[in-house]
A and B are shown apart, each in its own frame.
Chain A
């Protein structure tokens, strides 16, 4: 990773952090587990996709998650841990299926998958914070499945929009196609 890559990924991390700060309070008081992840999923998918289109290197998702997590660390180390686990799982799956982020399909996959991978840890945290009622919700596979599907749809939708914008950026000569 060059300094230029690090700087761009840090800016992408600033975008997802800012998007989270805007989206999460909108659903903060809703007693449904996973709502916070769902609310921010579109923006995470979009911005991580933009980051990957410019920095098509292994470890890019991990760095975005790390920089974002270091800011969230100011609230709780659990959020940093959640981010890092999700990023490691995403990088691992991309490595298995695509080897790296050189193709647009790999970028779409990685950007869309990240938020889905962060959902299990988010649900555990929500279950712990929310007590018995959330635990009851989580015990019902239908509810968990619906939340997962909605999060995945938003996350991959965001990544798809990111790809569309990325094609325009390539047309404008701002990133390599």
Chain B
């Protein structure tokens, strides 16, 4: 199905600026198009226009039109548009409401009134493809499995237009390989696919065309093979500076540590020491134990076997921890107050707000910030009490390379000056390569390999090749 956006403009009722302006694009059947650009550039807004969410479900002033084949999204009801478009939104956890996998996959097909026999076949097919047991409870799936379930439930509807909003955000290399196969198959089947994604390294080899958006306008529209060297996002921070080595006795030393939770052994016989000023990056697929290891280092969970010796750092005292979703850690009514509660002095608060580029936003409510700004704020607040150890869990989810670059530069300055040790868990090569330091490759709770930047490069090359488990 041919999809055309003509002179498209969108302005949200809560904002004075146009989120999209004069967008003219055409998406041909059998092609995969990547929408990219910084956070807030209008990628999600454009996807919402293509699937009729704007103007039917989100209030906004609109101009121009979107045609899905011969159907205009403005004239058709949401139900009419949804019979042509399959959409995978961000945040898989928030999109699943059925209690069983098969019910979630079947939901869209049931709404379209398909024959139960056909639905049964599609449930089986998609379950097999994404490695999901149809009778399993949705509540016990991991983040990566939930992302796969959302993809499966949309694909089961078999729509001619497929829209994907950050589909790689929660996927490990096996999930990414499944997505790659799906994109190839969609192209062959003549589907039109439009995906918004920040992880260009993973997705560029899989797309035909790249549309680069900035401030709501199309800045570049290129074939993928030409885009590789020309996009602004390719200027990634290769490294934010030489990684300092360890100084002094270890802050935390884990020896042959096992951690069991929810009836599963999350870590098995892990040894790791972290010294002041050191940087460690944790790599591995979904469910490998990266977050559990971070939590153990921070003292948030106790080892069931082995020993954890701490030379100072404990939760709330000497340890800063930034979660995958920074929203959980923002409690106060202004950006300044958020940094102030942990900061020893007003000077330090001001200095950190400056360093992280938040001074201009100091009176804003933390929850009114963009995702990238929230991440910067949560890291600034974690660094404010001058911790000895800083743990970052997937700091790049939802970040464009510009805000990631700013975060890494600010971190680099603070960590070196104050000799703070950093441990970060990440799926993102941009982050792993920029942080430098030691790398640990975890699989099924065990340390599979230890090394430096070479290990990170090797790990992510495997990921790009789609080397499955």
Direct contact between A and B judged by beta carbons closer than 8 A: yes
Interface residues of A (CB under 8 A from B): 2, 4, 168-169, 171-174
When distances are taken between beta carbons in the complex, the residues of chain A under 8 Å from B368 are 171-174
Complex CA gap A47/B368 in Å reads: 21
Distance in angstroms from A167 CB to nearest chain B CB is 10
Complex CA gap A124/B368 in Å reads: 47
Question: Is the CB–CB distance between B367 and A174 below 8 Å?
Answer: yes
Distance in angstroms from A149 CB to nearest chain B CB is 32
Complex CA gap A174/B366 in Å reads: 11
When distances are taken between beta carbons in the complex, the residues of chain B under 8 Å from A168 are 333, 365, 367
Complex CA gap A118/B57 in Å reads: 35
Asked if B14 lies at the interface with its beta carbon under 8 angstroms from chain A, I say yes
Pairs across A and B, CB under 8 Å, 8 listed: A168-B333, A168-B365, A168-B367, A169-B367, A172-B366, A172-B367, A172-B368, A174-B367
Distance in angstroms from A70 CB to nearest chain B CB is 14
Distance in angstroms from A118 CB to nearest chain B CB is 27
Distance in angstroms from A154 CB to nearest chain B CB is 23
Return the chain A residue nearest B369 by Cβ: A172
Within 8 A of A (CB), among B332-354: 333
Interface residues of B (CB under 8 A from A): 14, 57, 333, 365-368
Complex CA gap A77/B359 in Å reads: 56
When distances are taken between beta carbons in the complex, the residues of chain B under 8 Å from A2 are 57
* Most chain A beta-carbon contacts within 10 A, residue among B14, B366, B367: B367
When distances are taken between beta carbons in the complex, the residues of chain A under 8 Å from B57 are 2, 4
Return the chain A residue nearest B332 by Cβ: A168
Return the chain A residue nearest B330 by Cβ: A172
Also in contact, A173 and B333, with CB within 8 A (given A4-B57, A168-B365): no
Distance in angstroms from A62 CB to nearest chain B CB is 21
Distance in angstroms from A164 CB to nearest chain B CB is 10
Return the chain A residue nearest B14 by Cβ: A173
Complex CA gap A2/B367 in Å reads: 25
Complex CA gap A151/B368 in Å reads: 35
Complex CA gap A169/B368 in Å reads: 9
Return the chain A residue nearest B334 by Cβ: A171
Complex CA gap A173/B364 in Å reads: 11
Return the chain A residue nearest B13 by Cβ: A176
Distance in angstroms from A176 CB to nearest chain B CB is 9
State the 9 A-B residue pairs at the shortest beta-carbon distance, nearest first.
Answer: A172-B367, A172-B365, A172-B368, A171-B365, A173-B368, A173-B14, A168-B333, A174-B367, A168-B365
When distances are taken between beta carbons in the complex, the residues of chain B under 8 Å from A4 are 57
When distances are taken between beta carbons in the complex, the residues of chain B under 8 Å from A174 are 367-368
Complex CA gap A169/B365 in Å reads: 9
Q: Can you add 15 more A-B contacts, CB < 8 Å, to A168-B333, A171-B368, A173-B14? A: A2-B57, A4-B57, A168-B365, A168-B367, A169-B367, A171-B333, A171-B365, A172-B365, A172-B366, A172-B367, A172-B368, A173-B365, A173-B368, A174-B367, A174-B368
Return the chain B residue nearest A10 by Cβ: B97
Complex CA gap A171/B367 in Å reads: 9
Complex CA gap A61/B365 in Å reads: 29
